[in-house]
Structure 1
Amino acid sequence: MNLGAVKKHSAAEAGVHCAITLNVREGREAEFEEVLIRFVQRSLDYRGTTGVHLIRPAPGSGSREFGILRSFQSEAHSREFYSSDMFKQYKIDTAELVEGEPVIRPLHGLEAFFRGTGAAALPRWKMAAVTWCGVFPTALLWSHLLGPRLTLLHPVAVSAVVSLAIVITLTWFVMPCLTKWMRPWLHKH
């Protein structure tokens, strides 16, 4: 279940995105959630933080695994946040509430496009389908627009220029729009 999503910038902006998972001790879930929400509210003002999305286990699932998706302006901001006194205090405040260490994993590539679009992990086949819906027309467009104009270049150079145009178009326009438009389908059960 979604605890809430807070964003300071649009989903289309670049940045660093991290997925954090941790297991809460049995019977301490409500207490952990209170501490977590207070921490998240304070942490949003931390320099370079651009958003956070909290995920709790589904009721009746038996899982005690919580998820946190954090976004930062840059890798330097992420490193600074995770070494800050505020984060160290949060670790102290939750030490008795969690089992083991949290797993902090950076999100790259396709995972970052789909961040924050829902509480549950999306099926890979749906991510692949949405990605194909973006890649196919974008590749077709740039191949037809640039290919004929670059005939004097070596085929490898043509591929490099066309693929650069595709990547830029996908990253800053197509994928952010597709994930927004297709959100209802992506999360349909």
Structure 2
Amino acid sequence: MIEKTPVARILRCHAKPGRAEDCMALLEGLLQGSRQIPGCVFASLIPPAAEREPHQFVQRFATLQDLARWQESAGHAQWRERLEQMAEVVDAGPIEGLQVWTAPPVPVAVPPKWKLTVVSWMGIFPLVAVSLGLLTPLLQSWPFLARILLVTVLVVSLMSYVVMPRLVRWMGWWLRGK
């Protein structure tokens, strides 16, 4: 049976001395090229926040099989070889589901799913409660599915871009604790 779960891949690249600009240019090229990789549905490049931090390259693939096909391809081997000439590369390996939110700066154990579920609930519960409380009176004339569509788009967007990154940062001590 083929697994249909989306999977992410994170490369952390510490540019070798004097190679930061070359490394960034190569990663930007890989970012542009990712659009042509079969099964790659998203790619992003995160430059280092400070001089000693790594560049991070994130790719999301539709399935684990799509990622495996890319990693076994000649194109991947060429990119990897060029990148390793100018940077120390750490591949965090395939990361699936909610674990993508907690990908640490260096490869370590990923938090258990039950902890990720608790932290996700901590964000979703107040967002849904506030959204329903504020929007229900305004949207009473809307059809049921349209109301649900608006609320879920709002909650998912806020979770992805505002709430979850902060919760992971604030609860990191607990998520990664023993």
Query: Cα 1:179–1:24, aligned 2, differ >3 Å: closer, same or farther?
Result: farther
Residue of structure 2 in register with 1:29 after alignment: 20
The Cα of 1:108 is off from its aligned counterpart by: 2.8
Q: How does 1:88-103 map to 2 (within 5 A)?
A: 88-99=77-88, 101-103=89-91
d(CA) in 2 for partners of 1:50, 1:177: 22
The reply to whether residue 181 of structure 1 matches residue 169 of structure 2 is: no
Residue of structure 2 in register with 1:109 after alignment: 97
Segments of 5+ residues of structure 2 without an aligned counterpart are: 103-110, 129-150, 170-178
Query: Cα 1:48–1:109, aligned 2, differ >3 Å: closer, same or farther?
Result: closer
TM-score (normalised: structure 1): 0.55
The Cα of 1:71 is off from its aligned counterpart by: 0.7
Segments of 5+ residues of structure 1 without an aligned counterpart are: 1-12, 116-123, 139-172
Does structure 1 conserve the Cα–Cα contact (< 8 Å) formed by 2:24 and 2:55?
A: no
| 1:120-147 Cα distance to aligned partner (Å, 9 max, x none) | xxxx999954433437999xxxxxxxxx
Does structure 2 conserve the Cα–Cα contact (< 8 Å) formed by 1:29 and 1:64?
A: no
The reply to whether residue 74 of structure 1 matches residue 63 of structure 2 is: yes
Query: Cα 1:134–1:178, aligned 2, differ >3 Å: closer, same or farther?
Result: same
Alignment counterpart, residue 131 of structure 1, candidates 99, 102, 121: 121
Q: How does 1:51-62 map to 2 (within 5 A)?
A: 51-58=42-49, 61-62=50-51
Alpha carbon RMSD of aligned pairs, Å? 3.6
d(CA) in 1 for partners of 2:162, 2:35: 27
Secondary structure of the residue aligned to 2:85 is coil
d(CA) in 2 for partners of 1:137, 1:186: 11
Secondary structure of the residue aligned to 2:162 is helix
Query: Cα 1:178–1:106, aligned 2, differ >3 Å: closer, same or farther?
Result: farther
Instruction: State the one-letter code of the partner of 1:178.
Output: V
Does structure 1 conserve the Cα–Cα contact (< 8 Å) formed by 2:9 and 2:60?
A: yes
The Cα of 1:178 is off from its aligned counterpart by: 3.3
d(CA) in 2 for partners of 1:15, 1:128: 21
Alignment counterpart, residue 41 of structure 1, candidates 32, 39, 47: 32
d(CA) in 2 for partners of 1:179, 1:128: 16
TM-score (normalised: structure 2): 0.58
d(CA) in 2 for partners of 1:187, 1:132: 12
d(CA) in 2 for partners of 1:185, 1:79: 31
